Amino acid sequence: MVDFRKVLFLFLFSNCILFLTAQNIRKMSIDEMFEIADLCSRSVRTYRIAEEEAEQAVRIAENAKLPAIELSVSASFLGDAWLSDRDFSNGQNASMPHFGNNLALEASQIIYAGGAISNKIAVSKLQYQLAQLDKEKNRQDIRFLLVGNYLEMYKLKNQAEVYRKNIEQTRKLLSDITAKQVQGLALKNDITRYELQLKSLELALTQIQNGILIANDQLVTVLGLPQETIIDVDTCLLDKLPELSGELYWQESALTASPDLQQMKLNIKQFHYNEKIIKSERLPSLALIAGDHFDGPITIEVPPINKNLNYWYVGIGLKYDIGSIYKSGKKVRQARLSMQKAVEKDLLLQENIHMNVKEAYIRFREAFTVYDTQEKSLELAEQNYKVVNNRYLNDLALITDMLDASNSKLSAELQVVNARINILFNYYKLKKASGNL
């Protein structure tokens, strides 16, 4: 009975370990990875907060449309007054009521400010849109970083599988040569050569596995997942490759979807509004004003009157900065030059994006050519493998010939898979260049 319990305990324990290990391995598609990044990436969250901050700035700017209301209340101790002639002779003290009070309520509503308020609100709204585009740019940068590491990890895992097969074949060959060396049919030098080859393959496999660990660590860090998470790539993503559409589609898409171009257009608008704000300095501002004052004592009389005085008023206030006539001209010229510079930057940016999209499209198209070439190479490698295998079975070829043919076939298979991955990578790179990732 005791032995049965021990066996049951070991069985449950091993299942628990397997369950915990399985929990750490997470198979993830590219789209799922993008969704997690949008929700959990620390970088995306930072830009989302900046967007909310800019949205709040719009609300603050709109507060300028609301009336300004000021309330002041004070209580004070008044000392005695001192009177004298103009030449400061015949000075004498004059008693004063010692308790002073003041209550003032003033309100003002701007009626006209030369468009300064509306233009400042428009600028704050543009800055909010710029913050949204910053978030979008960061989101696309994060996505491109993720897909690069994801596909690189896919490549490395394929390479690791090829190296494992090569190591297995090399060990088999080493075993055969060792047996032949015992029979006197092989030299010690042959064994040493293949031992060195085996060590080189094992070292390369270790380096590949380390590369997989590094790529996995970068993925889980950016995604905000626990560090012990192991991401397993979705092998089905190579089942359907993207279509090779025309370059014109991507160029037109970049003009409308690129966050960089959209930001540049908004910058031009912002400089335009800045010029309007500067011009508004030349115009007067008009406001409705109203107030009520409750003061005491009345100190404007001699002797002072120890009573409270309440008075109110309503009216219209006009304010005009005369100095703006000769000061704002330079600011207007500077604003115009800034807008001209922004227009030139916009044209330059369009040229750069056009070149980037064209380069990405050429590489994307080239990836299909590479894939077709690698498929042909795989076909030839499979044919060679069949021929050498038949010769080996008929004792017409050495085992080294067989291993070389097998390695060539494995390498060709790896290159085909890598070529398909390369198509995907260049496709996402093209989407990034056109602002559609």
Q: What is each CA distance from 44 to 53, 160, 358, in whole angstroms?
A: 14, 33, 29
| Inside any domain, residue 424 | yes
pLDDT in tens, 279-304: 888 888 888 999 999 988 888 887 88
Q: How far apart are CA 169 and CA 407, in angstroms?
A: 9
CATH of the domain at 367: 1.20.1600.10
pLDDT in tens, 315-352: 898 888 887 788 888 888 888 898 888 899 889 989 99
The answer to whether 136 and 260 are in contact (CB under 8 A) is no
Q: How far apart are CA 48 and CA 351, in angstroms?
A: 30
Enclosing H/E stretch for 73 = strand 68-77
Q: CA end-to-end span of the chain, whole Å? A: 63
| Inside any domain, residue 375 | yes
pLDDT in tens, 247-262: 888 988 888 888 989 9
Sort 404 into a burial class: Cβ within 10 Å, 0-12 / 13-18 / 19+: middle
Going by pLDDT thresholds of 50, 70 and 90, the confidence category of residue 200 is confident
CB atoms within 10 A of CB 121: 19
pLDDT in tens, 48-62: 899 999 999 999 888
DSSP 244: -
pLDDT in tens, 169-195: 778 877 877 776 676 655 667 677 778
Q: How far apart are CA 89 and CA 369, in angstroms?
A: 107
Overall domain count for the chain: 1
Q: What is each CA distance from 143 to 35, 209, 346, 437, in whole angstroms?
A: 10, 24, 25, 7
Q: DSSP letters along 276-323, please? A: HHHHHTTS-EEEEEEEEEEEESB-SSSSPB-S-EEEEEEEEEEE--TT
Between β-strands 25-28 and 230-233, what pairing exists: parallel, antiparallel or unpaired? parallel
Q: Which domain holds residue 343?
A: 241-283+326-437
The answer to whether 295 and 307 are in contact (CB under 8 A) is no
| Inside any domain, residue 416 | yes
Going by pLDDT thresholds of 50, 70 and 90, the confidence category of residue 24 is confident
| Inside any domain, residue 276 | yes
Structure tokens that stand for 93 in this block: 């003290």
| Inside any domain, residue 1 | no
| Inside any domain, residue 417 | yes
Question: What is the Rg, in whole angstroms, of the alpha carbon atoms belonging to the chain?
Answer: 40
Structure tokens that stand for 191 in this block: 């064994």
DSSP 398: -
Q: How far apart are CA 118 and CA 15, in angstroms?
A: 68
- Global pTM reads 0.77
Between β-strands 81-83 and 68-77, what pairing exists: parallel, antiparallel or unpaired? unpaired
* One-letter identity of residue 156: L
Q: What is the mean pLDDT of residues 126-153?
A: 90
| Inside any domain, residue 356 | yes
With H, G, I as helix, E, B as strand and everything else as coil, classify residue 96: coil
Residue 416 has pLDDT above 60, yes or no: yes
Task: Please choose, from the candidates 106, 79, 115, the residue with its C-alpha nearest in 3D space to the C-alpha of residue 94.
Answer: 79
| Inside any domain, residue 412 | yes
Lowest-confidence range among 10-14, 304-308, 333-337?
10-14
Contacts of 244 (CB under 8 A, 6+ apart): 364, 365, 368
